[in-house]
Structure 1
């Protein structure tokens, strides 16, 4: 039954009224004339497009702040963070990343 309905719809071709076609073509000509008179869009560079994509300078400031805070908490965590994480992570492991045993003058590790 549905195939018959589709076949009938394909067979019935009613052309649009002439005044509708004239209005559509007049509107298209108006839009084309407006576009021809407009200036071409200014192309932005890659960095400007990326900046727009993330929300502009306020977002960059927030991302920079969050990144620096994350780095700071990762390098020198407060005691509360270490106490909170110890039961979940097990024994604490301390790694010296600042080379406290490195002698800058001699350029070698110092014993003890």
Structure 2
């Protein structure tokens, strides 16, 4: 593709550009120091406490409250289990005799003991 011919207006404009390239404007040192100081302040790392980051990872206060409720329920059920659940401490440490299926009436009344087929 052929370059278009320049007219005299473009030559004058090009002369101004050449003069600007030959002598670029100088930034005052005080201004440059203030700009660099502001840049350093903007890039400074913000220290976030570990508890704040952990709370954000777990879903904020909603996630932490749900986790606290589940923990309390788990401790309560583990400390004093209902009659239908076996005592985990007795099973693990072997003190006392516990029957896993002490009352089979609950299982047979709903037909849970029947196999398919």
TM-score by length of 2: 0.36
Larger RCO (CA under 8 A, 6+ residues apart) = 2
Q: What is the TM-score of this pair, normalised by structure 1?
A: 0.38
